[in-house]
Amino acid sequence: MIVPTNALFKHAYGKYAIGAYNINNLEQTMGLFQGNLQSKAPFIIQISKGARSYTHKKMLEAMLKTADEIFPDAVFAVHLDHGDEATCLDCIKSGLYSSIMIDASHESYDKNVEITKRVVDAGHAKGLSVEAELGQLKGIEEDIKADDHVFTRPDEAVDFVKKTGCDSLACAIGTSHGAFKFKGAQKLKFDILEAIQKLMPGFPLVMHGSSSVPEDEVRRINYFGGAMKDAKGVDENSFALAAKLGVTKINIDTDGRLVWTRVHREYFALYPENFDLRPVGKVFMAEYARFIANKNKKLASAGQLDAVREFCKASKK
Positions marked active-site = 81
245 in contact with ligand G3H (CB under 6 A): no
Which of 40, 52 has the CB closer to Zn ion?
52
Member of 80, 252, 289, 299 binding ligand 13P (CB under 6 A): 252
Asked if 171 contacts 157 with a C-beta cutoff of 8 angstroms, the reply is yes
Member of 153, 208, 295, 298 binding Zn ion (CB under 5 A): 208
Residues in 157-186 that interact with ligand 13P by CB under 6 A: 177-178
Member of 177, 249, 262, 298 binding ligand G3H (CB under 6 A): 177
Q: What is the DSSP string of 66-117?
A: HHHHH-TT--EEEEEEEE-HHHHHHHHHHS--SEEEE--TTS-HHHHHHHHH
Write down the least CB distance from residue 178 to ligand G3H, Å.
Answer: 8
CA-CA distance, 59 to 67, in Å (whole number)? 12
Member of 68, 85, 90, 142 binding ligand G3H (CB under 6 A): 142
Write down the least CB distance from residue 29 to ligand G3H, Å.
Answer: 14
Which of 80, 302 has the CB closer to Zn ion?
80
Partner from ligand G3H, ligand 13P, Zn ion, none binding residue 211, C-beta < 5-8 Å depending on class = ligand 13P
CA-CA distance, 198 to 200, in Å (whole number)? 6
Report the first-to-last Cα separation within the chain, whole angstroms: 15
In the chain, helix, strand, coil percent, each to 5? 50, 15, 30
The CB-side HSE value for 35 (13 A sphere, CA atoms) comes to: 27
Return the range that interacts with ligand G3H (CB under 6 A); candidates 44-52, 58-66, 83-91, 219-227.
Answer: 44-52
Which spans of this chain sit near ligand 13P (rule: CB under 6 A)?
A: 22, 81-82, 177-178, 208-211, 251-254
